[in-house]
Structure 1
C-alpha cells in the first residue's frame, strides 16, 4: 500500500463550534464523536478530528478541492455569514476570487484562526 493521509487533528478551543462551522460551510454531514474528538469525514476517506486545546491555537491551513456546484454553494454560505474572504493566503486581496489555473479559490478563517481554502482546480 502506498502512503495515504488518513486523518489529522485540528486543535480548537471548542470542538463543537469548529467542527460544525466546517460541516456547515462545506455542506457535509455533521461531525461524529470518537473518544474526546469530533470527526468530520471527507469524501476521499480523510477525516479532520477536532480536539479541544487551550489557547493559544497555532494557525494551520486546510484546503478543500470542490466541484463547481459545491464551490458555489460553499461560497454562498460563506457570503451569507458576512465573513471576510481573500484571493490569496497572505490576505492581501480582500473580497476577490483567485482564478489561478482556470479555476476558482478563496481563503477564509475558521473560528480558531485556521486558514481554510476552497478551490475548484488543482
Structure 2
C-alpha cells in the first residue's frame, strides 16, 4: 500500500516550491498553513482512490486464482482460425454456426463479469 504521509509531503514540497517561485517566500509560508489544514481532505481523497484500486486488484487476484485452479481458462475475444476449423471439424454436419455460438458465449461471459 502507498504511504499517504510520504506522498502528502511530496505534494506539499512541490506546492511550496511553485508558490515560492511565483509569489515569494512569505506567501508560500501562508499557503502551506492552509495546505496543512486541508490534509484531511487530501487523505480522504487519496484513501478512497486507493480503496477503489485495491478492490479492483482483489477482484483480479480472485479471477487469477480461478485460472490457476483450472476453474477458468483464458480465451481470445475473437476465435482464432484454428479454433474455428476445430469447431467445424468437431460439429461437422450439425446445424450450428460455431463462430456465432462462440461470440455469444464471450458476450455472456463479459456481461456476467461486470455483475
Question: Structure 1 length as normaliser, TM-score?
Answer: 0.20
Which structure has the higher relative contact order (CA within 8 Å, separation 6+)? 1
- Tell which structure's C-alpha radius of gyration is larger: 2
Question: Structure 2 length as normaliser, TM-score?
Answer: 0.21
Higher helix share: 2
